[in-house]
Chains A and B, each alone.
Chain A
Amino acid sequence: MFYRESGQFKSSYAADSAILTIAQDRLFIAALLALAFVVLPGLGSDYLLSGILIPFLILSLAALGLNILTGYAGQLSLGSAAFMAVGAFATYNFMLRMPGMPLLLAIFLGGLMAALVGVAFGLPSLRIKGFYLAVATLAAQFFIEWVFTKFGWFTNYSSSGVISAPPMQVFGIAIDTPASKYLLTLSIVALMALAAKNMARASIGRAWMAIRDMDVAAEVIGIPMLRTKLLAFAISSFYCGVAGALYAFVLLGTVDAQAFDLHRSFQVLFMIIVGGVGSILGSFLGAAFIVLLPICLNLLGQAFHDTISTQFLANLEMMLFGGLIIFFLIVEPHGLARLWQIAKEKLRVWPFPH
């Protein structure tokens, strides 16, 4: 009834290639952005902003990066956290060794470093595929973690092997409150999500998908394998690198290399599988599921802590989390993004499905 596209005509090519072709979608996104940019920073509590939303956004960005590589280009990777680490440590060193460098530029350069490293570790993908490649990217994960722990230079010889973020400002505005940190993160994530959406729709995105669906066939129709695959690695690592820099600087402030261990890589992978492989929206839905669900379960569990032992509850939460992953996969094997799409289809014909 409300979600219907009849009567909406496209009269120009620009309108036809818009991201949101339906007026209701445009309205929904506008409302969502208004909520995210205006309402939440004003009304959200510290806990909501810096305990939930900032980590959610940052991990969404990492998931987005992995989704470009895995979802669109079809190259399974278990090294996302390592590329996040490169972004974080590179940003730190740019700011430390070139005093006066603006924060945004340092984060951008950190992302570029991650992209470079990503390309280096992407080279084997030209020969190796599937789970073999996934485990091969583990080489990147362990090697990079080792380098940052082993060589003191990267942490400025900090005795405890951690990097500490200096005071931050963007265009002269100090980034020191939860609201300002949240807005900075949100702006970066929104921009990069838009860029990702457009890349996915452009020729490069189509080339990636061709390679994903069948690389031999893609090569036959003239898609340059080397360039396309490595570009996927570079862009994906750039996204992860920026996410890592935000994680270290905006979210935590002080961080050691172990914050980017294998578990983080797996966590990011879980997000895209649960959310939807090859979907921008899915990256966000998946991050929400993986980040927020355990917290919700823990909050719910707290309600019973007088009657049931916390030990039991904590384990029950973990079991429920695992169970829910399986449940959602059985309900919709293609991820939450697909569920969302189905819901929209249903809404189109509601309330008269025939």
Chain B
Amino acid sequence: MNKTAVAVSLALLTVAGVAQAADQFIPIPSYRVGAYASGGAKFYGGMIDYLNYVNMKEGGVGGVKLTYEECETEYKNDRGVECYERLKAKNGGASAFNFMSTGITYATMDRAEKDKIPLMTMGFGRADAQDGRAFKYVFPLITSYWSQATAKVQFLGQRVGGMQNLKGKKIVNLYHGSAYGKETIPVLDAMAKKYGFELQHVEVPAPGTEQQSQWLEIRRARPDFVLLRSWGVMTPAALKSAQKVGFPRENIVANWWGGSEEDAIAAGDAAKGYIAGSFALDGRQFPVIQNIEKTVYGAGKGNLSDKGFIGTVNYNRGVVSGILMVEAIRAAQKKYGAKTLNGDQIRWGMENLNIDAKRQQELGVTDMFPQVKTSCQNHEGSGYTRFMQWDGKDWKPVSGWIKADTGVTLPLIKASVDKYSQEKSMKLRDCAAEK
């Protein structure tokens, strides 16, 4: 019982933290220990570096200083919920959360709706959440899982010289045996029907350390391509097993969870030639990355323990996450004024993002991520994916930005949203009325 007492007093103390009037608070629910720490440390490092960069360069957004606080989630749902509750009301209220975890996002979705705090699920989370009418506070910015899946197929179409050539081709969808892994099956089925290729789904039981039988099956099926819907250790294990059965790595295309240095390095030589999708390019060539290095690391305030990781895929994703967060605050300030804004106001900002070519130029992020323009109904704002190939040391782009096939995704989103709103017995927002 005395343990509870300690926790109670601690909790009460921390929640009653002083709210500073002119700050905008951004919660950082990071994961720096456990299985996903290698990616988490870089991602949240990049995000924090960008926030610090904005503070150092411009003194915050519109004169409002950005503050942040970290909370360790360990990529676990219950810890994530605790972090959400801990940070949501701090320092004038949380702007928006980006958990970088599909599980934690589900676990906090109901709460966020009630507390009116947006969840950024950049590249991950529920695909149907891009419909802002049902998911007012969830933002799968840039690209959802479904958009990426259609982009993958279109990329294969480019490889064979046009979508019409996909007809009669055989493609295997090798997926992680979890809700996450199964999520793209309906989209891929629809694509297969549309373009007339043969599609075979093969499940890898989670966590995917062992894939011998799956790859033997794949070799027997002799597919032209393998679409990899992998996660964590499943990626290197898949590449190693592909090497073992002699399947060419150039014909394996993964989504972005399999597209960081960590995924490829772990597989060693077996990863050479392997292709993965991306929504934020890696590298230090972007002015924004160079400026962060100069300003933030120059002043010795960098978050990464090893400067060598600046410009890695996960780091750049974190920077993009920071940019989108700050741009949403900027947009919201234009409507509500330069002061501390609450979650609902940031939500408005996130719904009215407009990062066009000109703005990208100003931010120094041209070509780092696609242009983003969101609206009340469209919480994704882009739907573009680009594909990268691992050359043994680095990711090299092998395609332009490929737009999602909305002819396939939109009907599916509608069906899914209808079911969701029915289960939750809720009414969809009327976006026309909110204008």
Contacts and interface: CB of A to CB of B under 8 A. Distances in A.
Interface of A: 32, 45-48, 50-52, 55-56, 96, 146, 149-150, 155-162, 164-167, 176, 251-259, 263, 285, 288-289, 291-296, 298-299, 301-302, 305, 309-311, 314-315, 317-318
B85 A50 contact: yes
A263 B420 CA distance: 29
A162 B106 contact: yes
A32 B82 CA distance: 24
B15 A55 contact: no
22 contacts: A47-B15, A47-B89, A50-B85, A51-B82, A52-B7, A55-B81, A56-B4, A149-B178, A150-B177, A155-B179, A158-B419, A158-B420, A160-B106, A165-B110, A166-B423, A167-B425, A253-B107, A257-B179, A259-B107, A292-B4, A298-B72, A305-B70
A317 to B, nearest CB: 7
Interface string B388-420: 000000000000000000000000100010011
A47 B111 CA distance: 12
Given A48-B15, A258-B103, A166 B30 contact: no
B295 interface: no
B106 A310 contact: no
B7 A302 contact: no
B412 A159 contact: yes
A149 B205 CA distance: 11
A51 B85 contact: yes
B19 interface: no
Interface in B177-196: 177-180, 182-183, 186
Given A254-B109, A256-B106, A302-B70, A47 B3 contact: no
A286 to B, nearest CB: 10
Contacts of B34: 318
Contacts of A302: 69-71
Given A51-B84, A288-B4, A296-B7, A310 B32 contact: yes
Interface residues of B, number: 59
A55 B419 contact: no
Nearest to B3: A288
B432 interface: no
Nearest to B206: A258
Most interface-central of A52, A158, A159 (chain B CB within 10 A)? A159
Nearest to B84: A51
B305 A252 contact: no
Contacts of A259: 77, 103, 107
Given A55-B81, A252-B81, A160 B70 contact: no
A296 B103 contact: no
B183 to A, nearest CB: 5
B342 to A, nearest CB: 15
Nearest to B105: A254
Contacts of A166: 423-425
B14 interface: yes
Contact of A160 (B11, B89, B128): B128
Nearest to B30: A310
Given A55-B82, A293-B3, A314-B37, 12 more contacts: A45-B12, A48-B15, A159-B186, A160-B128, A165-B110, A251-B81, A254-B107, A254-B109, A254-B110, A256-B178, A258-B178, A289-B3
A161 B185 CA distance: 11
A299 to B, nearest CB: 5
A82 to B, nearest CB: 14
Contacts of B103: 256, 258-259
B431 interface: no
Contacts of B305: 309, 311
Contacts of B180: 161, 258
Given A160-B128, A259-B107, A298-B71, A314 B6 contact: no
B197 to A, nearest CB: 22
Interface in B29-43: 30, 32-34, 37, 41
A158 B420 CA distance: 8
A312 B423 CA distance: 44
B299 to A, nearest CB: 15
A172 B8 CA distance: 31
B33 A315 contact: yes
B127 interface: yes
A92 to B, nearest CB: 9
A159 B127 contact: yes
A258 B179 contact: yes
B126 interface: yes
B334 interface: no
A157 B89 CA distance: 35
B219 interface: no
B128 A253 contact: no
A161 B179 contact: yes
B10 interface: yes
Nearest to A177: B114
B106 A252 contact: yes
Contacts of A56: 4
Interface in B192-233: 205-206
B179 A292 contact: no
B356 interface: no
A270 B14 CA distance: 28
B78 interface: yes
A317 B72 contact: yes
A51 B79 CA distance: 9
B179 A149 contact: yes
A58 to B, nearest CB: 9
Contacts of A155: 179
Contacts of A318: 33-34
Given A259-B77, A317-B72, A48 B11 contact: yes
